[in-house]
Amino acid sequence: MSNLFDLLVAGLATGAIYALVAVGFTLLWQTSQTINFAQGEFVMLPAFLMLAAMHVGAPFWLAIILGILLSMILLGLAFKMLLVDPMMRHGVLPLAIATMALAIGIKEAVKQFFSAEASPFPSIVPTGDISILGYAVSLQSIGVLVVAILAVVGLTTLLSRTSLGHQMQAAAQNPTVARIIGVPVERMILLTFVINAFLVALASLLITPIYLAKFSSGEVLGQAAFIAAIVGGFNQVRGAIAGGLLIGVLDNLAAAYVSTQYRAAVPMIFLIVVILFRPQGLLGRAEERTV
Amino acid sequence: MSNFGKTLKIVLGLAVVAALILVPMNFNRYGLFILSQWAVMTIAAMGLNLTLGYAGQVSLAQGAFVGIGAYTAAIMTTHGWPLPAALVVAIGLSFAVGWVLGYPALRVQHHYLAFVTLAFSTLAFLVFRNESWLTGGIYGISNIPRPNILGFATNRPLPFYYVCLGSLAIVSLAVWWLIRSPWGRAFMALRENPLRAQSLGVDTRRYTLMAFAIGSALGGVAGALYAPLTQYIDPVPFNLSLSLDLLMMVIVGGAGFFFGPFLGAMIAVLLPEWLRFTEGYYLMLYAVAVMLLLIWSPTGILGILDRYMAARRTKAASALRAVAKSRLETAQ
């Protein structure tokens, strides 16, 4: 029983990180029809930026701030302006392919300029266990959960309670009308890219202490985020959150109760079933067919 | 003028074929391996081009079919079957699996379809890796024999390169014929406007499944050549990145153009080799090159050519119009 509880908490913690990445993924899709195949690499890179900052002597807290700022510039502004802007009007597929190339580029750059080996990464939460309801729970899982929940609550408040958030939603739902009523649509889209960059940098900070910093770690993360986004609902922020938590828990339970060899198959089969029977996702609304 | 253009095309085509046959004769082992790999990947990309470029169905599973073909060939030939028999089984098996994978395409489209096929790709990889009683697991299958064709042993790199090139030629002719047949036109109707195609009496259901099945079968053919080419296979080359690479080849070359996959495979297989002098940077440069190309021309390399031809044609047409108009004016 305590084993199951452990698995659930650990699953929720990884799931919360997946959720952060998946939310960013759906934001980009909603505002600009960008399917970002480099999202996993976007999570991998900030940890290396922070490590680089520490190499040149910055203390950990400063490295975190620098890493997040740099990510917002590189993965937010530069990504949007240099790659997405010139390609957006040409449809979904060429841009998706370009992000695949970007994923290869980021991976190889990290391998070349940093290291091909996995590097340890300091945790922002102290290691150790605390006792909740008589169960020992790792502090790291709790810390990850708290930070991720704060980020998600912050984001949903921004989106649903502030004027800026309403403008962003308008820009995503109906850019033409939004433009007519005076919403600076282009700036709102750019803002979602910066928010996505912030979310992936945060996810990077939370997950890297658990899985180490490695150039190839983006592949698994990116896939988990895709699945979470689709399972939850491609066009809903809360769908992506639910999907992330679900995939995290499912993944951990599968590792324990299904064979470790086929652990990765469980989310995939779940994905196929969801797409075939409820393509709009568990919480998503149905999109009309465009043709 | 158009006759001249036609002759030019034929002469150019013959020159390329002759070069592909003659030039590699004094290539070393590695050069021949890379060229053979280009031929094999072109076959797989042609299959995906049929599914994606002509019929408009996104698939992220072509790599899995190359894997299915490769494992079929590896398992059968190491058990004493001849390669042609393995080829037939590989084609049949990937055709059947491709047909089944086509069913989700009847329900969902675009990015949803992409993710279903992505999931399939990952599942196939897990089967290759975990069912070690059949596939040798992570240790793979080694000592895959190369075939005897009409009594000629093809163990050496050059004869086997000709096997790959010959297969590429046969596949090219078959695909050329297919896209000019009513089937090819039905595929294109499916891509351009499925609803309209259906209302005109095209059985969209059957053609969607067919587009998947035939495209996948070509992936199987590529796999059945890949196994004897490398003579050793393990699950790693058939993971998701192969499917992504093949998709990149099709788009970079030009989806929906007959020669797109040839160019795309050339970029994906040969460009990294040419960039090897830059050592660790070659894949990075490759990625940057692909991004720049797509920013410049989202329809791929052949898209550039296509636009140039279209521009020239309009220019020629407007020149003719201008001449005709001035004649008309002087006549008045």
Query: Which of A268, A271, A280, A291 to mutate to probe the B interface, most B CBs <10 Å?
Result: A268
pTM: 0.87
Question: Under CATH, which number does the domain A2-277 receive?
Answer: 1.10.3470
Numbered residues of chain B with Cβ closer than 8 Å to any chain A Cβ: 58, 104, 107-112, 114-116, 118-120, 122-123, 126, 129-130, 193-195, 240, 244, 247-248, 251-252, 255, 280-281, 283-284, 286-288, 290-291, 294-295, 298-299
Regions in chain B scoring below 50 on pLDDT? none
Instruction: Return the pLDDT at B127.
Output: 93
Long-range pairs for B289-293: beta carbons < 8 A, 24 or more residues apart: B290/A97, B290/A98, B290/A101, B290/B248, B290/B252, B291/A83, B291/A98, B291/A101, B291/A102, B291/A105, B293/B252
Residues of chain B contacting A39 with CB distance shorter than 8 Å: none
% of chain B at pLDDT higher than 90 = 45
Q: SS3 for A17?
A: helix
Instruction: Return the pLDDT at B35.
Output: 93
Residues of chain A contacting B290 with CB distance shorter than 8 Å: 97-98, 101
CB-CB under 8 Å, A234 with B287: no
**Among A87, A109, A230, beta carbon nearest to B294:** A87
Tell which phi-psi region holds residue B254, choosing left (phi > 0), alpha (psi between -120 and 50) or beta: left
Structure tokens belonging to residue A116: 């091909």
- Integer Cα distance of A224 and A242 in angstroms: 13
Closest chain A C-alpha to B16 CA, distance in angstroms: 29
CB B72 within 8 A of CB B238: no
Q: Is A234 on the interface with B (CB under 8 A)?
A: yes
Instruction: Return the pLDDT at B218.
Output: 97
Residues of chain B contacting A115 with CB distance shorter than 8 Å: none
Q: What is the pLDDT along chain A (291 residues), one digit of tens a residue?
A: 567 888 888 899 999 999 999 999 999 988 888 889 999 999 999 999 999 999 998 899 999 999 999 999 999 999 999 999 998 888 888 899 899 999 999 999 999 888 888 888 988 877 777 777 777 778 888 888 899 989 988 998 998 899 999 999 888 888 899 999 999 999 999 999 999 999 999 999 999 988 889 998 888 888 888 889 888 877 778 888 999 999 999 988 888 888 878 888 888 888 888 888 887 777 776 665 443
Instruction: Return the pLDDT at A286.
Output: 67
Counting Cα atoms < 13 Å in the Cβ hemisphere of A190 gives: 12
